[in-house]
Amino acid sequence: MPYIAPVHIVAPALILSVRPHGEHGAIVRALTPADGMQPGYVRGGRSRVLRPVLQPANAVLGEWRARTGEQLASLTVELIESRAALHGDPLAAAALSWVTALTATALPEAQPYPRLYEALDGVIGALAAAPSARGWLPGLIRYELLVLAELGFGLALDRCVVTGERGVFDLVSPRSGGAVSRAAAGTYAGRMLRLPPFLLGGSQSPDWPDLFDGMRLTGHFLDRDILADRREDVGAARQRLTARLKRAVA
């Protein structure tokens, strides 16, 4: 039989999901900078000591051990930074629930995505630092675009998909994911998705209509290309975030 090397990974990680397993344990998925998303079994993960540590978005130092790469690794964790305070705010909690669920669902295991690790850490940091949703929502939407791009579904926003012309456009084809000039869209302009300027490096303080247009844009392609046939609760997490954002604006 071919030799299968044991697994031993020690790395900083962001907790993505925690699922009860057995009477006292938990299966945890966490994102590392160099080893991608790693699952692991945490003994006593449902205990009063470890429950506060195993909160989605917490930064931990994880150690995964398994006799072979085919086994679920045992995981021990040491808390680096708690995001417990964010879970006490309904809007921030909804944002954390969405971005961690999206990442846990979309990424294949053990594939490195260092850009996503850095970007997710940045989104979580912005949630902790920004005084209002307008401070962190642009980064969250850009993170959604990055997830699409890293998984091979990137949007072509710098060239008109109809004419091939390069430039700055404000429409996107919901079918191709490519930018479309208004002249080329013609009577079909009403069927296009709006591309807000802040996603092209424009205003760093977009208004609410631009932010909701950005969410509508990324949501369309996430639903179609990544979340189709996935767990229903993942899409529900984004719907809860959108609903809470709309209530916050109203």
Torsional sign, CA 101, 105, 111, 116: negative
User: How many domains is the chain partitioned into structurally?
Assistant: 2
Q: What confidence score (pLDDT) does residue 235 get?
A: 87
Domain check: are 172 and 129 in the same one?
Answer: yes
Confidence of residue 245 (pLDDT cuts 50, 70, 90): very high
Q: Determine the pLDDT at residue 167.
A: 85
Could you write out the DSSP letters of every residue in 144-199? HHHHHHHTT---EEEEETTT--BS--SEE-TTT-EEE-HHHHGGGGGGSEE--GGG
For the segment 142-165, the average pLDDT, to the nearest whole number, is 95
Q: Is the confidence at residue 3, as pLDDT, over 50?
A: no
pLDDT tier, 168 (very low <50, low <70, confident <90, very high otherwise): confident
Same domain, 71 and 175: no
Total H helices, total E strands in the chain: 7, 9
d(CA 189, CA 180): 9
Look at residue 1 and tell me whether its pLDDT is greater than 50: no
Same domain, 18 and 43: yes
Same domain, 227 and 187: yes
Neighbours of 100 (CB within 10 A): 26
Low-confidence winner among 59-73, 104-118, 211-225 (lowest mean pLDDT): 59-73
Helix then strand then coil, % of the chain, to nearest 5: 40, 25, 35
Q: Is there a single domain that holds both residue 186 and residue 228?
A: yes
Mean pLDDT of 81-96: 95
For the chain, the farthest-separated pair of C-alpha atoms sits apart, in whole angstroms, at 64
Average pLDDT over residues 35-60: 96
pLDDT at 204: 67
Cα–chain center distance at 66: 27
The predicted structure's pLDDT at residue 202 = 62
Output the pLDDT for position 181.
Answer: 92
**pLDDT digits 0-9 by tens, 210-230:** 999 999 999 999 999 999 877
Range of the domain at 62: 7-84
Q: Which CATH number belongs to the domain containing residue 41 in this structure?
A: 2.40.50.140
Q: Is residue 199 within 8 Å of residue 157, measured between CB atoms?
A: yes
Domain boundary among 84, 103, 135: 84
How much is the pLDDT for 86? 94
- Beta-strand relationship, 178-180 and 193-194: unpaired
Confidence of residue 250 (pLDDT cuts 50, 70, 90): confident
What is the phi/psi pair of residue 89, to 5°?
-100, 120
One-letter amino acid at 136 equals: W
* DSSP conformational letter for 108: P
